[in-house]
Amino acid sequence: MAFTLPPLPYASDALDPHLSQETLEFHHGKHHQTYVTKLNELVGDDKTNADLDDVVLGAAPGPEFNNAAQHWNHTFYWRCMAPAGGGEPEGELAEAIAKDFGSFGAFRKELNDTAATHFGSGWAWLVHDGSRLLVTHTSDADLPLRHGQHALLTIDVWEHAYYVDYRNKRPDYVSAFLDHLVNWDFAAENLRQV
């Protein structure tokens, strides 16, 4: 069975006005779909029923890795947002953030600044490295899975994620993501699986 584009976990206009329907329809329906289509062309029948994590970890550097990883990253990214998201995490995740960053405010600033200033295309992440939470960033398609880290949350900072709505103002997109879209329940669920 070929890899397929997962549906968005909300309607394509559900994140408006922070991310428009046009952005989601192009980002999901065109960009993400293209990664899935190219991945299937590259892996063919060899990877029938393969787990995406295994395909990412076993992929040859270049197009096979890039398309597999971008399929993984985008599938994860959609779930990192929710209509009426934002606010602050609760429970174990809030406690872990306070322990490893000092405060939610310090953590938010580090994630915000990392996403806003990453040079070029890539991703900002909250990860668990096996002993603690960390804010990291990766370029192009690279992802925590390849570095032995467990992803809890990501922000897509490729221009295609925000250019329609924010033009070149990536910091405004990052602020809107953290203020209005971030899905802390999903990050907390990921922490419970570490």
Q: Give me the residues that bind Fe ion (CB under 5 A), please.
A: 156, 158, 161
Return the number of the residue (80 or 178) whose C-beta is nearest Fe ion.
Answer: 80
Work out how close the CB of 21 gets to Fe ion at its nearest, in angstroms, rounded to a whole number.
16
Closest approach of Fe ion to the CB of residue 163, in Å: 11
Residue 22, number of CB atoms within 10 A of its CB: 13
Residue 129 vs 172, nearer CB to Fe ion: 172
Name the minimum Å distance from CB 31 to Fe ion. Answer: 5
> Nearer to Fe ion by C-beta: 156 or 165?
156
Residue 93 tokens read as: 């995740």
Phi, psi (rounded to 5 degrees) for 131? -130, -25
129 φ/ψ angles, rounded to the nearest 5 degrees? -95, 10
Strand partners, 122: 139
Please, which residue, 64 or 156, has the CB nearer to Fe ion? 156
Distance CA 35, CA 70 (A): 6
CB of 48 to Fe ion, least distance (A): 26
Q: Which residue is nearest to Fe ion (CB)?
A: 156
**For residue 53, with 0-12 CB atoms within 10 Å meaning exposed, 13-18 middle and 19 or more buried, which class applies?**
exposed
